[in-house]
Amino acid sequence: MSLTAKSYALVTATAVVIVVLLTLLGINPIATFFITVFCAMVAYMAWMTIKSKRLTDILEEKCDPVLYLEKCTKSHMGHPDYNKAVAYLCLGDSKTAYDLLTNGEIPKKMTLFMQLTYNCTLMCCYIENGDFEKAGMQYENHIKTKRKGLMIPKIAFAVDLLFLEYQYKLNITPETSRYFLEQLRHLCDANAKVLTKRQKLSVLYIEAELLEAVDEPEAAASIYRKVANEGNKLWVSELSRKKLMSQE
């Protein structure tokens, strides 16, 4: 993340306060310098963490991909094109998301965490675009091995949910839907504490689709209603409203 005006002001103010306090306490100049640098770095990192959390909450808790998209700039985050792709996916525009992932400014060197989230997002684009062959290849070549031993619950859940969605969309029948419905509920129960609001609503939408497939329209409608009411500007919320209107 770049040092924005607010960040710069915070670091400068922190440094000035620390220098004044240490000078009043009679600390020697060399010690004052190192203590000031250390404290200023801590203050900057804390500010960036808070700022990142606020931005993430716009999408994950407030379910507002439109506002999140507006915030996806270089001054706010390290990988704006990737984050824009996620926002467009949440708006139902998988083609724009795919274009950003494949042609946008994506770092060539990525951490294991970033590699996994990037490849999962790309696989999601393939699924939404109906290209299941490429989705399967993406999982086998770039995700499967990285998933083994993954210790980050939120990412592990996202990978497992994505693979489950891929499997059921490949072969959705009343028989397979009952099996996938059980698997979905088991997966969510095991990860209930780590899910964001956006993830919960996405899961609920999939559950409603599966309930429709097993001929439980009333149960599906109840879930669609919940997603429609709580999903704000998420695409699953818009899809839920369309489903409810078609049933009237």
Domain carrying residue 37? 1-60
Q: Summarize pLDDT for 15-45 with one digit per residue, the tens.
A: 666 666 666 667 767 766 666 666 667 666 6
Count the neighbouring beta carbons within 10 Å of the beta carbon of residue 72. Answer: 22
Per-residue pLDDT of the chain (248 residues; tens, 9 = 90+): 444 555 556 556 666 666 666 666 677 677 666 666 666 676 666 656 667 788 889 999 999 999 999 888 755 566 788 999 999 999 999 999 999 999 988 877 888 888 889 999 999 999 999 999 999 999 999 998 888 766 677 788 889 999 999 998 888 788 888 999 999 999 888 888 888 999 999 999 999 999 998 999 999 999 999 999 999 999 999 999 999 998 76
Could you tell me if residue 28 is inside a domain?
yes
The structural domain count of the chain equals 1
Could you tell me if residue 25 is inside a domain?
yes
Q: How much is the pLDDT for 93?
A: 96
d(C-alpha 235, C-alpha 248), whole Å: 20
CB-based contact 4:73 (threshold 8 Å): no
Could you tell me if residue 155 is inside a domain?
no
Could you tell me if residue 52 is inside a domain?
yes
Could you tell me if residue 118 is inside a domain?
no
Secondary-structure percent of the chain, ordered helix, strand, coil, rounded to 5 = 80, 0, 20
Could you tell me if residue 88 is inside a domain?
no
Count the neighbouring beta carbons within 10 Å of the beta carbon of residue 88. Answer: 23
Could you tell me if residue 248 is inside a domain?
no
pTM to 2 decimals? 0.80
d(C-alpha 49, C-alpha 38), whole Å: 17
- Per the document, the length of the chain is 248
Q: How much is the pLDDT for 105?
A: 85
d(C-alpha 129, C-alpha 150), whole Å: 28
Could you tell me if residue 239 is inside a domain?
no
